Amino acid sequence: MIFHPEQSYHDDVKSLERYLVSELNVRDVIFTTDEQRTGVKYRAVADWPVLGKKLRKDVGRVRNALPDVPSDEIKSFIDSGKITVDGIELVTGDITVLRYVDLPSDGSYATTTDNDVVVVLDVCLHPELESEGVARELINRVQRLRKKAGLQATDEVDVFYSFDLEVARNSTAMNGDALGEVIKCHSDMIVRATRGIPRVVSGRHKEAVPMIEEEQEIGETKFKLSLSRPAVS
């Protein structure tokens, strides 16, 4: 969820939505100007060395009282340009207003802000999204290998993968069966991006001509990926 008080900001950022979805492996991006829906609150921070030169001995009073100023009063400061903290008036330039969100303590969400923008991200590990993320990483590896082999987008090649059986047997990382299941579940997406489906190397035709083979790594999973010219029937 991306919060910003101005719709024009969202109109600009929406042009990047496909990139955000792809890079972050998220299913939905919600753009909103609704503070209540997002749970936006306000707090103020100060450049204490600069403010100290202005307030001198009174800076300690402001430092102690500022964290307890209610969110609504900090929000009003944005429009009025002035606020009273422990009897001391502060004006625009004395403090910086930050928008933020209080999150539940279960660790299911993360958030960040840069004053005006607040981003809230669901960081739970959803199995279906993990699987989709692996598929995207696999597509990326195939495309990079095609480029390294000097292939054009229209060139037809067969893609194969293999695992070191001993390493796979003693590892908690994904094995060949799990990768095969990912490929099966997301075959449409993989075909659209790579023009083919990666297959187990044992199924490679004996007359197929290997072009390039490299070890790949996705997370903790290591495997070999190879490209071959289609066998002539």
**What integer pLDDT is reported at residue 174 of this predicted model?**
64
**What integer pLDDT is reported at residue 199 of this predicted model?**
93
Q: Where are the alpha helices (DSSP H) in 87-223?
A: 127-148, 165-169, 176-185, 187-194
pTM: 0.64
pLDDT averaged per 10 residues, the chain (length 233): 95 92 84 93 93 93 95 94 94 93 89 92 86 91 94 89 66 71 93 91 83 90 89 63
**What integer pLDDT is reported at residue 168 of this predicted model?**
47
Tens of pLDDT along 12-46?
999 999 888 878 878 889 999 999 989 999 999 99
Closest CA to 140 of 221, 99, 194: 194
